[in-house]
């Protein structure tokens, strides 16, 4: 790409899109527009409007755009370049050392939020086990403001990102703890209405296809034993101690793991285990109730 001026935004986007598509990025147009939005400090809609009105780039803007396109072409996650990941109505800060929240996890958050909002308590308690950037916990705390939420994360790096997001986005109903979900929440035993988790669930031998996941998401966020279900086995038992009677567990898992997750939960004593398809008809969330 040339930086000789005048370069139109339209031409920069076209050549940036080509570079990204050649690097194997599926949504190259979307990523190029979002990267232009980041460099120009505009919304994506404003970038599209500026294309129509023939906006030109200054040499500095063109050079900055070239640089972010080159990083994205190396398959650095878009969200690490912009520093932001959208999650429901929130924008979370993310970067190296923390799992980038995924759109499919918004569905798990919806189940958790609906269950929390329906609890017949003036101040129901929810927990988020392995909170990463804080995505699920923050969605629950901001969308069910009368609830109290406790989130736990073991990785020091991820915990730092979560702490930034909690400080930016909540005003007192979310407590973040640094430690393992195995034992960091024992004081809450028998009091939790909603146990939510998107734990690691990738089988140890399954190598994620996308370099963004394989090279940039932390290993401890992804892998969980031979069948990928080790953390879910732990969370089922831990959750049973935490939840009160009538409390709900809400777990994300891989699309082929629904049956295995229901078996684990049912064998441990959870009732009414049910797996729910996402918008693309894949089984990604299982819920169950504590008797």
Nearer to ligand SAM, 154 or 160 (CB): 154
Do 233 and 265 touch, CB atoms closer than 8 A?
no
Spatial CB neighbours of 245, under 8 Å, sequence gap ≥ 6: 290, 291
Nearer to ligand GLN, 104 or 114 (CB): 104
112 binds ligand SAM (CB under 6 A): no
201 binds ligand GLN (CB under 6 A): yes
79 binds ligand SAM (CB under 6 A): no
Q: How far from each other are the two terminal CA atoms of the chain, in whole angstroms? A: 63
Which 9-48 positions form the footprint of ligand SAM (CB under 6 A)? Answer: none
Nearer to ligand GLN, 12 or 251 (CB): 251
User: What is the nearest approach in angstroms of ligand GLN to the Cβ of residue 273?
Assistant: 19
Write a three-state SS string for 46-106. HHHHHHHCCCEECHHHHHHHHHHHHHHHCCCCHHHHHCEEEECCEEEECCCCCCCCCCCHH
User: What is the nearest approach in angstroms of ligand SAM to the Cβ of residue 200?
Assistant: 5
Contacting range for ligand SAM; rule: CB under 6 A; set: 5-13, 41-49, 152-160, 237-245 = 152-160
User: What is the nearest approach in angstroms of ligand GLN to the Cβ of residue 136?
Assistant: 11
User: What is the nearest approach in angstroms of ligand SAM to the Cβ of residue 178?
Assistant: 9
Residues facing 127 on adjacent strands: 150, 195
Question: How many CB atoms sit inside 10 A of residue 17's CB?
Answer: 19
DSSP letter, residue 17? H
- Measured from each CB, the residue nearest to ligand GLN is 201
Question: How far is Cα 138 from Cα 87, in angstroms, rounded to an integer?
Answer: 9
180 binds, among ligand GLN, ligand SAM, none (CB under 5 to 8 A by kind): ligand SAM
Which 88-117 positions form the footprint of ligand GLN (CB under 6 A)? Answer: 102
Residues facing 56 on adjacent strands: 8
Question: How far is Cα 242 from Cα 190, in angstroms, rounded to an integer?
Answer: 5
Name the residues that contact ligand SAM, by CB under 6 A.
99, 101, 105, 130-133, 135-136, 152-155, 158, 180-182, 198-200, 220-221, 231
């Amino acid at each position: 790409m040339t930086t000789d001026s005048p370069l139109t935004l339209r031409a920069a986007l076209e050549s940036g899109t080509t570079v990204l598509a050649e690097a194997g990025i599926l949504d190259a147009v979307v990523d190029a527009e979002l990267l232009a939005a980041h460099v120009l400090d505009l919304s994506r809609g404003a970038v599209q409007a500026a294309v129509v009105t023939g906006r030109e780039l200054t040499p500095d803007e063109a050079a900055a755009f070239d640089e972010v396109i080159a990083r994205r072409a190396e398959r650095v996650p878009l969200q690490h370049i912009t520093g932001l990941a959208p999650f429901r109505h929130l924008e979370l800060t993310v970067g190296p050392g923390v799992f980038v929240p995924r759109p499919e996890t918004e569905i798990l958050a919806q189940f958790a939020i609906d269950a929390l909002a329906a609890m017949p308590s003036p101040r129901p308690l929810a927990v988020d086990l392995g909170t990463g950037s804080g995505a699920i916990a923050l969605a629950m705390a901001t969308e069910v403001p009368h609830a109290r939420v406790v989130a736990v994360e073991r990785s020091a790096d991820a915990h730092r990102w979560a702490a930034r997001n909690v400080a930016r986005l909540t005003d007192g109903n979310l407590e973040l703890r640094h430690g393992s979900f195995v034992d960091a929440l024992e004081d809450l035993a028998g009091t939790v209405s909603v146990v939510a988790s998107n734990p690691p669930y990738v089988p140890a031998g399954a190598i994620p296809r996308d370099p963004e996941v394989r090279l940039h998401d932390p290993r401890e966020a992804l892998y969980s034993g031979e069948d990928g279900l080790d953390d879910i086995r732990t969370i089922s038992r831990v959750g049973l101690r935490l939840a009160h009677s009538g409390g709900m567990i809400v777990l994300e898992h891989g699309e082929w793991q629904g049956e295995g997750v229901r078996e684990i939960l049912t064998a441990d004593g959870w009732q009414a285990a049910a797996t729910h398809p996402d918008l693309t008809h894949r089984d990604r969330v299982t819920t169950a109730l504590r008797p």
